[in-house]
Structures are given as structure tokens and as C-alpha cells.
Amino acid sequence: MEIRVDCHVHSENSFDSDMSPETIAAACVKKGIDAVFICDHDVASESRAVSGVLLLGGIEISTDQGHLLGLGIESDVEPVRDFKKAAAAIDAAGGVAVLAHPFQKTDVPAGERSRALRELAPYIRGIEAFNARAEKKRGDANDLAYRLAKELGLITTAGSDAHTAAEVGAAYLTVEAETLSAEAVKAALLRGEGTFSGVISPRRAIAASQKIKAKKKGLPPRFRLRRALFALKCAAADLIYQRRDKSHACHRKAR
């Protein structure tokens, strides 16, 4: 059977999302997504079905080499800063270690970043080749990730990196699996077959998640003006770059 899986979604267990499992499932049903990996910041989740949608266990660990996804984990994972140790912990928990949005930041030149990531390749199984939020600063971030994965022979994944319901399903992987189950989806993921599709999420989604973060952390009122200005900046950027963002939608073979 054909299954659409968004490989990177945040829930209310992340500091910058307020989506309940029911909210995520409802968004998936609306958009034709069959399964999602719940990858909260440094918090592991377990697999379960909600309203016919498979919410798969996962985690997003903040390491000294960038964010690392643990997809399909079967037990708890203690987040650690050391990249190699984090990858080993994901593997020990029965998960698939995938480098998340590796070219999202612009503080390091793309060539230098690629050279550093090549050294990490033996410790991971895949690279997130399309992240719906990754191109806000570097317009070719997803293309660079895809090319690096192909060069290194790693599997590719696609995820919305959703923090709000409107973002769920903005990017997803389409695979063939025997059943809609955690085991079957993970097996399909590891085969590296299928296709992935994605569109760029609007920048105002980032402003929305920052608002959630401020509310959860109980930041004082003086930060409201800063948030409002950031929201206006994001809205303006959406207008300026909407044509480019539409052109960066993709549909590619996973391998």
C-alpha cells in the first residue's frame, strides 16, 4: 500500500509548538497524510495511532554538529550534545539517525559545511533532503542536502518541520509498505525507495512558533513588541519571496 509520511513534526512536547496528538492527526486527515514522525526537541516520543493516523516515535537532538533526527525509535533516548554519541543512542533505541536540515544556517559556507558532514556520514543512515522551513536564509538549502545525500549514498527523507497545524504535510515521503504500522514504515524508510514532495512553508509560521515559545516560557510583556515586529518582518518576506518559494517546491525520487 502507498503511504504518505511527514518525517518531521513537532508536538506540544516541544518548547515552540502547542499541537496535541489530536490536532496533528486532524491536520493529517485533512491533507491526506497517513503517518508522521513526532520529532520533539530533545524529548523522545512513542508510536501510537490517533484517529487512523500513525504517530511514529522520534526525537530531534541538538548536537554539537547540528540537529539530528531519530526516526522510529523504540525506547527512550537521552539527548547528548556529542554528535557521534547521539547517533549511537538513536541506533541503540532502534531508530534511524537522519541529519536534519543540514544547510539551514548560513554562518558556515556551504562548501565548508559539506566537508564537515562527509566526515559524519558513517554515523548516520540518512539526510533530510527537503525541509519545508530550511530555505528561509539559504535558498538552495534543500538542494544542497539532496545532492550530498546522493553523493554519500544515504537515504533521503522529507519533513514539514511543522510547529503549527497549518504546516503539517508541507513535505512528505511517499513509500510502499505492507501495512500502516511502525515496523512497515521504518522498513520502507530504510529501503530508500519512493518519492518525496514538498513546498516551502511561509515565514509567518516561524513567527507563530516563536509566539508559542514566548507564551510557554512566560516571557514578560516587553517582548510582545519584538514579536510583533518579527511577525511583520516575516509577513513582508513572504510577499517578497513568494514567487521564489513556489518555484522551490519539489517532487523527487528518494534515491
pLDDT beneath 70: ranges in the chain: none
**Strand order across the beta sheet in which 48-50 lies:** 48-50, 53-56, 35-38, 2-9, 171-176, 195-198, 250-253
**Rg (the chain; Cα; Å):** 17
pLDDT at residue 190, as a whole number: 96
pLDDT at residue 172, as a whole number: 98
pLDDT at residue 226, as a whole number: 87
> What pTM does this model have?
0.96
64 contact partners, CB below 8 Å, separation of at least 6: 81, 82, 83
pLDDT at residue 132, as a whole number: 98
Buried b vs exposed e over 224-245: b needs ≥16 C-beta within 10 Å? eeebeebbeebeebbeebeeeb
